[in-house]
Structure 1
Amino acid sequence: MGETIVIKCGGSILSELSPSFFTSLQALYSQGMNIVIVHGGGPEIGQMLKRLNVCSEFINGLRKTTEEVLEVVEMILSGKVNKQLVSLLQQYHLPSIGLSGVDARLLEAASIDVAKLGYVGEVVNVNEQFLNDLLLSRYIPVISPIGSDRKGQKYNINADTAAGSIAKALQAKQLVFVTDVPGILQNGSLVEHATIETIENMIDDGIISGGMIPKVKAAVAALSESLDEVMIVSGKTTFYSENGRIYGTIIRKEAGVY
């Protein structure tokens, strides 16, 4: 089986994905790469919560998830957003199948801190065999980050951390976070290369803040022997060149040859 790339699409960029983003995916797919997509949906969730007058708050970049909030999160992520993205991919002749982490126990989850965050979960196991079966059939799994525990309790999982866990389980060659910015920015300029140490320093200095914090933490956590670099790129432009270069911020464990 070919090499695997896991791509996480942030909710803020889903409505702005450019045709060149999908042609980049076509290029990867035609070269035999296995593609797995994990998506968020924060703006859509926020709009629906507001429409339904359901209170919601963020704690350290994570949405506190009560039972009422969880119902809306699952409806938007696993329903509306997931199928919209699958439909878009298929318009570009990319064979896709929409899933949530609940399907086939794809993402087994456990609570992080019920008292503080409600039903926000972390991934404790990934059903990589199920994903590999789909990839062998040349499907592109499109995954909404809703998981469940062995008792059937569902959890809202941060899409960045879900993507990182999936990339690690599949021993993916690359993990790419697609956002509405070109990568990590410092004083308006793109940081092309970063290490774990520089990431920690930029968080301490406030250069990396808000929703970018769980993103870079997920990137760092996903780094392993099989996955030595993680990229943060823009979904508004071409992110993959013909010579195999990905444009954005490249994160590695430590400084080395790029």
Structure 2
Amino acid sequence: MKSIVLKCGGSVLDELSPAFFEAIHSLKKNGYKPVIVHGGGPAINTMLDLYKIDSKFHNGLRVTCDKTMEVVEMVLSGKTNRQLVSLLAEGGLNAIGLNGSDGGCLVADFINKEDLGFVGTVTMVNKEIINKLIDSDLIPVITPIGATEDGERLNINADYAAAAVAKAIDAERCIFVTNVEGILINGELIEETSTTEIQEYISDGHIYGGMIPKVESAISALDKGINQVMIVSGKKAFYQQGGWTGTAITNKERVK
């Protein structure tokens, strides 16, 4: 079984095109079993503003007090997950929403309760429940919410959650769906690169601005043991007729 994990950031959900869903159809036709993990940052920020709760970040992670956690869970489970499942259905794909905290899907532990509050790191993934859904020809759409052994809900960075799921189910690759086609150097798409080359591109100023956190997320997935990650666009058909469009990133040095 060729499984593949797609991480859809919250900022790209409103920009997913029909071509994106066609690409998922193509994946399925070519024997891939897709699993989706999604974020919801912009929608969470909007709701926090509505409730007059400050948004705070520490080392790139959202500081999550108990009130923030309520909003995070409400938005991810009640809004963005439903939105993505509905979009997949409209695209002719059979998907099912799954809260990461349900059925021990994402077991997590606090990273640093004093500094971050209810923010967790995945300690175990219940791959059996994910594989059962896959075997039923469903696309699991997972929220990055974990639960401790005691049942406390924790907010998990969606990039880290996707990497943990990909590692657990031995996915062929983990794909970061963004609003850009991939890494562009001097206006040209780089189809393949390595973590070392990426650091050089950042140092040289070829990778800058909003692309830096995208490539850093991809590198963090590789650090968690994923063999290959990709940055692709949710606005295009990133996969068709067995070919990929985007930037593939590996830890291995390339032979030039």
Say if 1:7 and 1:178, in contact at 8 Å, map to a contact too.
yes
Structure 1 Cα separation of the partners of residues 60 and 202 of structure 2: 13
SS in structure 2 at match of 1:131: helix
Deviation at 1:213, TM superposition (A): 5.7
Q: Percent identity of the aligned residues?
A: 47
Q: Indicate the residue corresponding to 1:45 in structure 2.
A: 44
Q: Indicate the residue corresponding to 2:15 in structure 1.
A: 16
Unaligned runs of 5+ in 1: none
Q: Indicate the residue corresponding to 1:111 in structure 2.
A: 110
Change in Cα spacing, 1:119 to 1:11, as seen in structure 2 (3 Å) is same
Deviation at 1:257, TM superposition (A): 6.4
Q: Indicate the residue corresponding to 2:252 in structure 1.
A: 254
Deviation at 1:97, TM superposition (A): 0.7
TM-score after normalising by structure 2 = 0.91
Q: CA RMSD in A?
A: 2.1
Query: Are 1:88 and 2:90 counterparts?
Result: no
Q: Indicate the residue corresponding to 2:214 in structure 1.
A: 212
Q: Any idea what the Cα deviations from partners look like across 1:167-211, whole Å, max 9, x if unmatched?
A: 010001121110112223456554432213234445667746664
Query: Are 1:146 and 2:148 counterparts?
Result: no
Deviation at 1:67, TM superposition (A): 1.0
Change in Cα spacing, 1:93 to 1:165, as seen in structure 2 (3 Å) is same
Deviation at 1:142, TM superposition (A): 0.3
Say if 1:223 and 1:252, in contact at 8 Å, map to a contact too.
no
| Aligned counterpart in structure 2 of residue 221 of structure 1, from 220, 223, 234 | 223
Q: Indicate the residue corresponding to 1:171 in structure 2.
A: 170
Q: Indicate the residue corresponding to 2:127 in structure 1.
A: 128
Q: Any idea what the Cα deviations from partners look like across 1:5-29, whole Å, max 9, x if unmatched?
A: 1111011100000000001111112
Structure 2 Cα separation of the partners of residues 208 and 60 of structure 1: 19
- The aligned amino acid for 2:244 is I
Change in Cα spacing, 1:110 to 1:200, as seen in structure 2 (3 Å) is farther
Say if 1:167 and 1:222, in contact at 8 Å, map to a contact too.
no
Q: Any idea what the Cα deviations from partners look like across 1:60-81, whole Å, max 9, x if unmatched?
A: 3221111111110110001111
Structure 2 Cα separation of the partners of residues 214 and 122 of structure 1: 17
Q: How does 1:194-209 map to 2 (within 5 A)?
A: 194-202=193-201, 207=207
SS in structure 1 at match of 2:239: coil
Count of equivalent residues: 253
- The aligned amino acid for 2:115 is K
Deviation at 1:119, TM superposition (A): 1.3
Q: Indicate the residue corresponding to 1:55 in structure 2.
A: 54
- The aligned amino acid for 2:110 is S
Structure 2 Cα separation of the partners of residues 221 and 255 of structure 1: 15
- The aligned amino acid for 1:153 is E
Change in Cα spacing, 1:170 to 1:56, as seen in structure 2 (3 Å) is same
Change in Cα spacing, 1:213 to 1:245, as seen in structure 2 (3 Å) is closer
Q: Indicate the residue corresponding to 1:32 in structure 2.
A: 31
- The aligned amino acid for 2:214 is M
12-21 vs 244-253, greater mean Cα deviation:
244-253
Say if 2:4 and 2:172, in contact at 8 Å, map to a contact too.
yes
Change in Cα spacing, 1:219 to 1:188, as seen in structure 2 (3 Å) is farther
Change in Cα spacing, 1:115 to 1:205, as seen in structure 2 (3 Å) is farther
SS in structure 1 at match of 2:67: helix
